[in-house]
Amino acid sequence: MSAEWFLKLKEYDSLEKMKNGLLKAINDEEGRLSLLNNKRQEQRELENGLKTELHSLQQDYFETEKKLNTSEEQAQRLRDIGGDEEKIKKFVHEAGAFEATLFAHLEKIEALQVGLEEKKTFLTGLDKTILEISAEVKEEVNKHQKDLDQLELRLTLIKDELPLDFKAALEKTLKKNLAIGPFTRVDNGSCYFCRFKISRVDESEIDMQKNLKFCPQCLRIFLPYGS
């Protein structure tokens, strides 16, 4: 009879591994999307930086333009009243410097506008990609979730079928999250995994009487010979 319970234990373990595989797959899918969302966030921040820079340059442009006009007006006013030649020269010189600044600003502003336009195109493309990937991810996750629900159901059924000692053994070993799995065998008088020495009596109880036993050292469940 207990041979059957060992099979159930093994089935439970392999279903549990499938479950972990599905959980990882769901996680990977969601990771794919969050990577793209992070990228979008990053690009939006760059776009905002460009906008701020453009705004402040435009602001400065208008200020400089006003100063240029004032200098030109001052020069003209002095000329009209036949003012001091040196002062006129000073205003003209000032106006020239403002004009140079305006040209430099204009170039930067144009470059920024081109950059912003490119960023906008890129972000539109990225939004479209994210929309497509979102739909894909949603579909995949839903599919995995359905499989997961079925697995959970089977896991619960197996657990409910098991006799109490097997159920307790399962819960105890699962909690330990043992690497490679919760099972071992007697191999040449020792635990296959950790080589802990097993007595002849224990070996016979495990392999012949198919009793439920744990390795005292690595705490894995012994599967009897042939199961």
Can you give the binding site for Zn ion, defined by CB under 5 A? 191, 193-194, 196, 215, 217-218
Question: What are residue 190's phi and psi, to 5 degrees?
Answer: -135, 165
Place of tokens 């950790």: 194
Shortest separation between residue 224's beta carbon and Zn ion, angstroms: 15
Nearer to Zn ion (CB atom), residue 137 or residue 215: 215
Nearer to Zn ion (CB atom), residue 210 or residue 220: 220
Shortest separation between residue 221's beta carbon and Zn ion, angstroms: 10
Question: DSSP readout, the chain?
Answer: -HHHHHHHHHHHHHHHHHHHHHHHHHHHHHHHHHHHHHHHHHHHHHHHHHHHHHHHHHHHHHHHHHHHHHHHHHHHHHHHTT--HHHHHHHHHHHHHHHHHHHHHHHHHHHHHHHHHHHHHHHHHHHHHHHHHHHHHHHHHHHHHHHHHHHHHHHHHHHHHS-HHHHHHHHHHHHHT-TT-SEE-EETTEETTT--B--HHHHHHHHTS----B-TTT-PEEPPTT-
Shortest separation between residue 122's beta carbon and Zn ion, angstroms: 57
Nearer to Zn ion (CB atom), residue 122 or residue 196: 196
Task: Give the residue among 91, 69, 67, 65 at the shortest CA–CA distance from 78.
Answer: 91
Nearer to Zn ion (CB atom), residue 68 or residue 191: 191
Nearer to Zn ion (CB atom), residue 10 or residue 159: 10
Shortest separation between residue 220's beta carbon and Zn ion, angstroms: 5
Shortest separation between residue 147's beta carbon and Zn ion, angstroms: 33
Shortest separation between residue 227's beta carbon and Zn ion, angstroms: 17
Nearer to Zn ion (CB atom), residue 137 or residue 221: 221
Give how far Cα 119 sits from Cα of 105, 124, 126, Å.
21, 9, 10
Nearer to Zn ion (CB atom), residue 143 or residue 213: 213
Shortest separation between residue 163's beta carbon and Zn ion, angstroms: 23
